[in-house]
């Protein structure tokens, strides 16, 4: 087979090694290309090794179509699919409009049928059970819908109070978590600043000794170390200032944490006291209500025929009523709770004082 005269230059889509140019386009002309491919006998370089096992049995497939033809073909399919969808949508809209017009025409008043005109007035008056169909049957559902919409929009008071309490609890929890997170961050910064201060202190001590030693030799040698010594002294003072600021911030955070805990404890005590006061008021109202007093007197009148021992037993029981015992028990529980909360506050105050004292001592040692 004689090769064309023009097929003597290497195809620009292939490199000298016979492989396609990495990242570049692919020659779609195949054997019909006017330039030399690696599969041609007059390839100028070394023919690349191609594993025939990876090839298909029938390697005489048609060459790939150009990208422009593929784009045009796919674009035509997309346009046809889009036009079909638009046609279907317009058909659905026309059908919907037609059905709506048909319903509107069917709801217009119509003339009575001949059968309805043939019914005599006597039968029409006598049939009192048959009532014309009216629209008030729809009112309850509309009212229910309106009430349900209002409930969904504004919500019930109980649900609002529960949501408010839940949001308040979440805010308090987020505040406590934020405080402890700030404590952890400031503690880390304090440890880092303390380590930096110790390092700068050691360097300052070393350079001070070197400067004093050089000063004994000559004044010029000591002055050569003076700039580095001044720089180290400035850094040491900066680290010391950072440590002091972190200690102050840490102490303020601990004070805020203890204030939050004390406020929470005081709030719990107030809630428990309000509950206990409510129970006491209910017990006193029940004991002083005229209805119960009248029932007790009626029971006494009915029991006049009993024996003297029964009346004595009733008088003794009235003297030691169960309400007095319940009130005493509630007061004892309240006193015990208040004592426990007071002891907890004392312990927290003591721990806070000890922590402040420890922080001051450690700060003094770092300064020394």
- pLDDT tens, 10-47? 888 888 777 888 877 888 887 788 888 888 888 877 66
Residue 350: per-residue pLDDT:
84
Spatial contact of 175 and 260, defined as CB atoms under 8 Å apart: yes
Q: 329 is written with which tokens?
A: 């028990």
Cα distances from 230 to residues 209, 216, 236, in angstroms, run 14, 19, 10
Residue 139: per-residue pLDDT:
45
Q: 281 is written with which tokens?
A: 């008021």
Residue 363: per-residue pLDDT:
67
Rounded Cα distance, 81 and 86, in Å:
9
Total residue count of the chain as it appears in this document: 368
pTM flag (> 0.85): no
Which one, of 109, 347, 162, 363, lies nearest residue 246 by Cα? 363
| CB burial string 31-65: b at 16+ within 10 A, e below | eeeebbbbebeebeeeeeeeeeeeeeeeeeeeeee
Residue 36 phi, psi (nearest 5): -75, 135
Residue 143: per-residue pLDDT:
43
Q: Is the pLDDT of residue 301 over 70?
A: no
């Amino acid at each position: 087979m004689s090769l064309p005269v023009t097929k003597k230059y290497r195809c620009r889509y292939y490199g000298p090694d016979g492989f396609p140019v990495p990242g570049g386009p692919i020659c779609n002309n195949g054997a019909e290309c006017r330039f030399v491919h690696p599969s041609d006998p007059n390839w100028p370089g070394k023919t690349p090794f191609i594993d025939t096992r990876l090839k298909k049995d029938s390697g005489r497939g048609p060459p790939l179509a150009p990208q422009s033809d593929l784009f045009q073909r796919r674009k035509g399919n997309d346009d046809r699919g889009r036009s079909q969808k638009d046609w279907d949508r317009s058909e659905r809209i026309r059908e919907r409009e037609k059905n709506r017009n048909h319903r509107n025409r069917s709801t217009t008043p119509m003339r009575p049928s001949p059968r309805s005109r043939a019914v005599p007035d006597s039968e029409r008056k006598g049939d009192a059970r048959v009532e014309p169909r009216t629209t008030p049957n729809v009112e309850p559902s509309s009212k229910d819908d309106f009430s349900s919409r209002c409930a969904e929009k504004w919500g019930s008071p109980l649900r609002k109070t529960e949501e408010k309490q839940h949001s308040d609890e979440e805010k308090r929890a987020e505040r406590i978590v934020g405080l402890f997170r700030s404590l952890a961050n400031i503690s880390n910064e304090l440890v880092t600043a303390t380590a930096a201060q110790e390092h700068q202190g050691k360097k300052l001590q070393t350079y001070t000794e070197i400067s004093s030693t050089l000063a004994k030799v000559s004044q010029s040698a000591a002055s050569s170390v003076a700039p580095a010594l001044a720089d180290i002294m400035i850094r040491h003072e900066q680290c010391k200032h950072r440590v002091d600021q972190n200690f102050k911030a840490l102490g303020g955070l601990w004070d805020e944490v203890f204030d939050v805990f004390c406020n929470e404890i005081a709030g719990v005590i107030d809630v428990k006291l309000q509950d206990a006061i409510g129970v006491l008021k209910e017990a006193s109202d029940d004991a002083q209500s005229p209805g119960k007093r009248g029932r007790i007197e009626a029971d006494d009148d009915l029991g006049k025929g009993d024996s003297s021992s029964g009346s004595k037993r009733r008088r003794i029981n009235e003297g030691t009523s169960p309400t007095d015992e319940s009130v005493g028990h509630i007061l004892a529980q309240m006193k015990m709770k208040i004592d426990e909360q007071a002891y907890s506050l004392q312990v927290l105050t003591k721990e806070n004082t000890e922590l402040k004292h420890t922080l001051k001592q450690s700060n003094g040692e770092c300064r020394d």
